[in-house]
Amino acid sequence: MRVDELAPAPGSVKRAKRVGRGTGGKGGKTAGRGTKGQHARGRGKVARGFEGGQMPLKQRVPKLKGFNNPFRVEYYAVNLDSLNELGLGEVTPEILVDKGVAHKGTYVKVLGRGEISIAVKVSAHAVSKSAEKAIVAAGGSVTILPLPFKVRPAANGNQFTNR
């Protein structure tokens, strides 16, 4: 048996050292806390973020301006020239993902950059006015897909939608 293998017997409990019971014995008067200072007083702890009286980092950093809108809806932009290059008769978000034009799981918005020369049946979550005008002029049609219905709890406990 080595010294590092020594351990108290199973189930044994050592009594806690009783300090602060008068100046007569060890651990009296200052109770092992030394003389004066932060650790000799009270719990010896300070508030979270306290830096010894120095201006805390949280207060030194400038405040942010503005806010992030939790109801923002982001669309993946697809332009008319991209639709024209595909040369398809029907365009949906799933087809655009398969062809690598849009990303999976995003809402698609068709924008009016470029020209379209073929009749295309377009289904998207949003379409700009100029794009819709160009698609209809080329003999195609536009269908707006509804955004998924999402319910989020409000701060006051009421329910409201994402749209």
Instruction: For 122-155, write each residue's pLDDT tens digit.
Output: 999 999 999 999 999 999 999 999 887 665 555 5
Token reading at 151? 């319910």
* The listed CATH number (3.40.225.10, 3.100.10.10, 3.40.190.10, 3.40.50.300) that belongs to domain 75-144: 3.100.10.10
Q: Kindly give the pairing relationship between strand 121-124 and strand 90-91.
A: parallel
pLDDT-derived band at 163, boundaries 50, 70, 90: very low
> What pLDDT shows up at residue 150?
60
Token reading at 53? 């009286």
Give the predicted TM-score (pTM) of the model. 0.54
> What pLDDT shows up at residue 89?
85
Q: Kindly give the pairing relationship between strand 159-161 and strand 151-153.
A: antiparallel
19-29 pLDDT, tens digit each: 888 888 788 88
60-102 pLDDT, tens digit each: 999 888 888 888 888 999 999 998 888 888 999 999 999 888 8
Q: Kindly give the pairing relationship between strand 75-79 and strand 90-91.
A: unpaired
Domain ranges for the chain, please list them.
75-144
- What are the two backbone dihedrals, phi and then psi, of residue 86, each rounded to the nearest 5 degrees? -65, -35
